[in-house]
Structures are given as structure tokens and as C-alpha cells.
Amino acid sequence: MTSDYVDRLEANRREKDEFFAEHPQSPIPPERRDAFDGLDYFDPDADSRVDATVTVHEDPDPVEMETTASNPVRYLRVVTFAFTLDGAEYALSGYRQEGEEGAIFVPFRDKTTGQESYHRGRYMELEPEAELADGDVVTVDFNLAYNPFCAYSETFSCPLPPEENWLETTVRAGERAPPLE
């Protein structure tokens, strides 16, 4: 992991903290913003940036995800990322809502969930530079894992990671449990 990468990651984290503290669309309720002094993050970790082999689902299966508001939302499983982490093989599914383009939504849980990270799971978004094809290799960077807005306010409804994205390993990267939890 280069110092340039760490500098960019830390600059991104400072920018996010500023947004959460000051922006009118912050998920932190206005009455709590004065006490907000930034999000808690795991230290940047080079081993949490993994190369993943892509399997594209040409005819994506629909997946109904439960939400924090108990109203399921439907996504399409468009891709699977297979990777090695801590010497073991894992896979995460990536989703989009029907008709959506761009970023691939990757909600997940791991063994830090409910202990060191948000009790309902965390998210990543992967933005491929081009259309993905079977066998492509992309970087899955758990240092970019973040908490959904519902971690900070019950006014948000957030999809919960489906069981197929529950990792049987510890991922100490990205955002920790919210300070308000």
C-alpha cells in the first residue's frame, strides 16, 4: 500500500466527516451534529485490498433484500467476485436494481458485524471502468467499506446484506461501528 493511497484514503475520510458534521443532507440528526466528532475507522490495511475474479450473470437472478424498515427491496445479482482473504476462498455477490447502470452494490457482513462494525452490516460500491466480463480481475477494497445511513438515523431504510454475502472471516477495514450506536 503506497503512501499516496493512504493519503487519498485519509483525505476521503476527512471529507466524509465534514459532510456528516455540516451538510444539510447528513444522516446525523441535526440535534446530534454538535457532538459529532468524526466517524471511527479501522486503520488502512494493505491485506484488505484483494484481487477478485469476476463472474458475470448474463441473466441476473432477482434477490429480495430485507430492509431496516421491513419493506423488502428487489435487486438483481449481476456479478460474483471470488477472492482470497486470510488464506481462504470467499465470494461476494454484487447487485443493481433493475434498469440501473454504473456502480455495483456489495452489501456484506463479517465476523466484526455487531462487535467492531455496524450490527446490520456494511456496504461497498464498486465502479468498474468498463463493462465487466467473466474472468476479469478487479480490486475489492474493504478499506472503502462504509456504514449505511440507517446506522445514524432511523429515518432511513437500508437494505440488509443477504446471507450469501455473510463472510466467515474478520474484515478489520473500513468504517467501524457508528459512534452513536
**Nine-digit cell string for 180:** 452513536
100 pLDDT more than 90: no
Cβ neighbours for 145, distance < 8 A, ≥ 6 positions apart = 108, 117, 122, 123, 124, 171, 173, 174, 175
Residue 180 has pLDDT above 80, yes or no: no
Residue 136 forms part of a structural domain: yes
In a domain, 96, yes or no: yes
Q: What is the pLDDT of residues 23-52, one digit of tens each?
A: 999 999 998 888 899 999 999 999 999 999
Domain containing 104 equals 42-165
Per the prediction, the chain carries an average pLDDT of 93
In this structure, is residue 32 part of a structural domain? no
**Domain annotation covers residue 24:** no
**Total-model pTM:** 0.92
Report the number of distinct structural domains present in the chain: 1
Q: How far is CA 41 from CA 38, 142, 147, in A?
A: 9, 11, 11
Beta-strand runs (E) in the chain = 49-65, 73-85, 88-96, 104-108, 122-126, 137-141
Please tell me the distance from the alpha carbon of residue 36 to that of residue 179, in angstroms, as a whole number.
Answer: 8
In a domain, 120, yes or no: yes
In a domain, 174, yes or no: no
pLDDT digits (tens, 9 = 90+) for 128-174: 888 999 999 999 999 999 999 999 998 899 999 999 999 999 999 99
pLDDT score, position 64: 95
